[in-house]
Amino acid sequence: MTCTIRRATPAEAPAISQLIITTLRVSNAGDYSPQVIAQVEQHFAPPSILQLMQQRQVYVAHAEQQLIGTASLDGAVVRSVFVDPDWQGRGVGQALMAQLVALARAAHLSALQVPASVTAESFYARLGFEKVRDQYHGEERTIVMNLPLNESSPVN
The residue count of the chain comes to 156
Task: Report pLDDT for 143.
Answer: 92
Which string of DSSP letters, residue by residue, matches the chain?
---EEEE--GGGHHHHHHHHHHHHHHHSTTTS-HHHHHHHHGGGSHHHHHHHHHHSEEEEEEETTEEEEEEEEETTEEEEEEE-GGGTTTTHHHHHHHHHHHHHHHTT-SEEEEEEETTTHHHHHHTT-EEEEEEEETTEEEEEEEEE-STT-S--
23: domain CATH number is 3.40.630.30
Asked if residue 156 has pLDDT above 60, the reply is no
Q: Is residue 155 part of a domain?
A: no
pTM of the entire predicted model: 0.91
Across the range 127-149, mean pLDDT stands at 89
Domain range for 17: 4-109
Task: Report pLDDT for 120.
Answer: 94
Q: Is residue 114 part of a domain?
A: no
Kindly report, residue by residue over 74-116, the tens digit of the pLDDT.
999 999 999 999 999 999 999 999 999 999 999 999 999 999 9
Domain count for the chain: 1
Q: Is residue 49 part of a domain?
A: yes
Asked if residue 139 has pLDDT above 80, the reply is no
Task: Report pLDDT for 1.
Answer: 60
Q: CA–CA separation, 73 vs 80, rounded Å?
A: 9
49: left (phi over 0), alpha (psi -120 to 50) or beta: alpha
Q: Is residue 66 part of a domain?
A: yes
Asked if residue 5 has pLDDT above 80, the reply is yes
Q: Is residue 152 part of a domain?
A: no
Q: Is residue 79 part of a domain?
A: yes
Average pLDDT over the chain reads 93
Kindly report, residue by residue over 27-65, the tens digit of the pLDDT.
998 889 999 999 999 999 999 999 999 999 999 999 989
Task: Report pLDDT for 135.
Answer: 86
Place 155 in a pLDDT band, splitting at 50, 70 and 90. low
Q: CA–CA separation, 145 vs 113, rounded Å?
A: 6
On whether the CB atoms of residues 80 and 72 are closer than 8 A, the answer is yes
Task: Report pLDDT for 54.
Answer: 96
Q: Is residue 130 part of a domain?
A: no
> Which of 82, 151, 81, 75 lies closest to 112 in space, CA to CA?
75
